[in-house]
Amino acid sequence: MKKILSIFAVAVLSLFAGKAFAQRNLPGMSAVEVRADMVNGFYTGNSRNCGYNLGVFYSVIKGNNANTWSFGGEYLQTYKPYGEKGRIPVAQFTGEVGYNLRIVSDYSQ
């Protein structure tokens, strides 16, 4: 526990150690996001109640006004209790397509 707290403290203090730079939105840039989450709470050693979520997303910035197209998909696996010792697996597939339109921004930054 001490190790986790010390790593967290170093991460928080590094945010205040100097200048912070934001990601630039230049035309033609692209990004890939990979997600892995646990659902139904934290894993506590009881695999009967554990579920997970996996996702992959791709974003690309088009044009000089930094509007963004994004595409992605997710898979969710959960377990619903059934009786005293049983469980029913429930799976869900989700696909996403989005267009983020930049409306208000300060280009001088």
Q: Which of 105 and 78 is assigned the larger pLDDT?
A: 78
Domain count along the chain: 1
Q: Residue 14 falls within a domain, yes or no?
A: no
The distance from CA 31 to its chain's CA centroid, rounded to whole angstroms, is 13
pLDDT at 55: 94
Q: Are 49 and 14 in contact (CB under 8 A)?
A: no
Is pLDDT above 90 for 92? yes
Is pLDDT above 60 for 109? no
Q: Residue 106 falls within a domain, yes or no?
A: no
Per residue in 37-86, pLDDT (tens digit) is 888 665 556 555 678 899 999 998 887 777 888 999 999 988 887 888 77
Per residue in 5-23, pLDDT (tens digit) is 787 777 777 766 666 566 6
Q: Residue 10 falls within a domain, yes or no?
A: no
Pairing of strands 86-100, 51-62: unpaired
Q: Residue 74 falls within a domain, yes or no?
A: yes
Q: Residue 11 falls within a domain, yes or no?
A: no
Q: Residue 6 falls within a domain, yes or no?
A: no
- Domain range spanning residue 74? 21-100
